[in-house]
Amino acid sequence: NAAPQPDLGDDIIGCIGETYPLDATSERATYLWQDGSTDAIFNATQSGVYSVTVTNACGQTTEEIEIVLLDGPPVVNLGQDMVVCATTNLTLDATNDQATYLWQDGSTNATFPVTAPGIYEVTVTNACGPTTDQITIEFVNAAPQPDFGEDIFGCVGQTFQLDATSERATYLWQDGSTNALFNATQAGVYNVTVTNVCGQATEEIEITLLSEAPVVALGMDSILCSGDNFNLDVTSLGATYLWQDGATSAVYPINSNGNYQVTVTNACGSTTDNVSYEFVSGPPNPNLGNDEVACIGETFLLDATSERATYEWQDGSTDATFS
């Protein structure tokens, strides 16, 4: 009824070891394949381009098809489980020749962008079969920020634990140790470099070890002139201070009569001392009265009494009065 119209179908992606029959059967026809064979059906077992010329009384038609045979299922390797910085742009790539893809969320691209921590899985399928692989990805949100706080004043014999713990980090201390925690038992400067996938930071601290509680000496009770400016100074290394009125400075101004007390504390203990101060309003102003003319045998009492004063008379006596 018509010239041949052989149809070998679409090009084939197959797997090595399989046979693919190519059927060119047409009405009352003869056949000539690329290798000279003349059957209506040709069994293809290798990759290549196959063609057939089909002839009948109405005419002649040539058809061809390409067959690509793969040597096995896809090779899929998403890599080892990993920890990445949350700001990193990461894409998983499962690309294989002549394959289809199915990810854990149903997407079908060869690549998958990672936007959150989790388990990622892909099944890659070709003519030889499927291969599945998965990977666990964890996020680190920021670079390390170790903080030891203020320098430390301690007491000989104490141990101070320095904590540099950071998210998914490694540690390198001044002595080469690599733990997150370091137990310091001696005075010195300690430092650590903390590293994670987001960055690196170094922190250091100085530890000073004291051998005894503070030595505090406010001195003897004293009398001061009201115009004097006077401070009590109990400064001591690594110490805190508590005065009778709740003040906490190392230096305390004296400006009125009273009893002054301070407790000085360091890592080794506390010491308390107190002292009293009185103020006088000004220098002495003795008044012995006017010169006198008297009769031998009379007695005069001369009075030089002054506020908080000492006395020295012409004969060396030291009382406030002189007869």
Q: Are 160 and 184 in contact (CB under 8 A)?
A: yes
Q: One digit per residue, pLDDT tens: the chain, 323 residues?
A: 899 999 999 999 999 999 999 999 999 999 999 999 999 999 999 999 999 999 999 999 999 999 999 999 999 999 999 999 999 999 999 999 999 999 999 999 999 999 999 999 999 999 999 999 999 999 999 999 999 999 999 999 999 999 999 999 999 999 999 999 999 999 999 999 999 999 999 999 999 999 999 999 999 998 888 877 789 999 999 999 999 999 999 999 998 889 999 999 999 999 999 999 988 887 888 888 888 888 998 888 898 988 778 999 999 999 989 99
**What is residue 268's DSSP assignment?**
T
What's the predicted TM-score (pTM) here? 0.66
Helix (H) or strand (E) segment spanning residue 306: none
Q: Which amino acid is at 253?
A: P
Q: Are 74 and 110 in contact (CB under 8 A)?
A: no
Angstrom distance (rounded) from CA 110 to CA 180: 40
Within the chain, how many helices (H) and strands (E) appear? 0, 26
- Tokens at residue 31, please? 């056949």
Across-strand partners of 80?
A: none
At residue 292, the pLDDT reads 86
Question: Is the separation of the CB atoms in 147 and 202 below 8 Å?
Answer: no
pLDDT at 282: 78
Q: What is the pLDDT of residue 136?
A: 97
Provide the pLDDT for residue 214.
94
DSSP, res 290: S
Pairing of strands 20-23, 199-210: unpaired
